[in-house]
Amino acid sequence: MTIERAKKVLRIEADAVAALIDRVDERFDQAIKIILNCKGRVVVTGMGKSGLIGKKIAATLASTGTPALFLHPAEGIHGDLGMVTRGDAVIALSNSGETEEIARMLPSLKRLGIKIIALTGNPESTLAKNSDVVIEVGVKEEACPLGLAPTASTTATLAMGDALAVVLLDQRGFREEDFACFHPGGALGKKLLLRVRDLMHTGDDVPVVSEGTLIKDAIYEISSKKMGVTAVVNAAGKLVGVISDGDLRRWMEKTEKTGENLLAKEAKEIMTRKPKIARKDSLAAEAVSIMEKNSITCLIVADADAKPEGVIHLHDLLKAGVV
């Protein structure tokens, strides 16, 4: 019984959303044009459960390039209508279309010349008759067996709101980078906004030795800078190789067999030539990709002249949430 009831709820709600497809017509297109031509913001309003859906629609619009806010209609008729200014557009949500608080706001919105888009289940309602565009989101039945709790109707309204937001996103040419700008604290924002320069170590924190540096001194540089690697530069200061902890371990095994003195060798003898590097203006996510592809945990950051100007470690990227 429990499982069947849950499946029935999902079928009813799925059918309610599917029924909206044939209602996307010239009225939907008119709503899009109103919003695109809006010089101000989109004000979304609704009471009760419709209000909760309205908040989500406003948030989705705002995060995808359409300036939007939510106005509680009960607060609106008690002063908050001052938030609405000429040049704004209103999306009003009411399944019945007769929500008292919304109806009482309509005359004031009309006086301001505000364009009103109604998302309602009743195209003959007060709200519908006073709106510039009516998008019908009514449902055949609610998923609630008592027919009382808004369920399928709120799902349908939310889906239509998403359709508006996504079409507007497309019309505005909104990109991933734009989305990231509005989500700087999220994972996507960090991947698309953080640059290597934002995370790299610079100045005295960058491990660097010359080609002729003895390995015993190179080991000190690696240890003191705590990066597990050091850059190796030539007389002109250009990067010619790197020495990592892994390089040292491999050479220790090799010299144990040959009887050579590893500590007496010079950096140029054991360094890894043509190392993978990062550019400071590249995305931090690109540095992660290079590390993953080459199974390394650190990258020297070099400029266009191949001179080291920083170093970035996997730990820095993990701490910043890029990985």
What pLDDT digit, counting tens, does each position of 104-163 carry? 999 999 999 999 999 999 999 999 999 999 999 999 999 888 877 889 999 999 999 999
pLDDT of residue 179: 63
Q: What is the largest CA-CA distance in the chain?
A: 95
Q: What is the pTM of this model?
A: 0.66
N residues, the chain: 323
Tens of pLDDT, residues 226-260: 999 999 999 999 999 999 999 899 999 988 888 88
pLDDT of residue 257: 87
Ordered domains of the chain (ranges, CATH): 2-174 (3.40.50.10490), 196-319 (3.10.580.10)
Neighbours of 190 (CB within 10 A): 21
- Per-residue pLDDT at 177: 59
Q: Write 198-204 long-range contacts (CB < 8 A, 24+).
A: 198/284, 198/320, 199/284, 199/312, 199/316, 199/317, 199/320, 199/322, 200/278, 200/280, 200/301, 200/310, 200/311, 200/312, 200/316, 201/227, 201/310, 201/311, 201/312, 201/313, 201/316, 202/309, 202/310
Q: What does the pLDDT read at residue 145?
A: 83
> Which portions of the chain are predicted below pLDDT 70?
175-193, 323
Euclidean distance between CA atoms 307 and 231, whole angstroms: 10
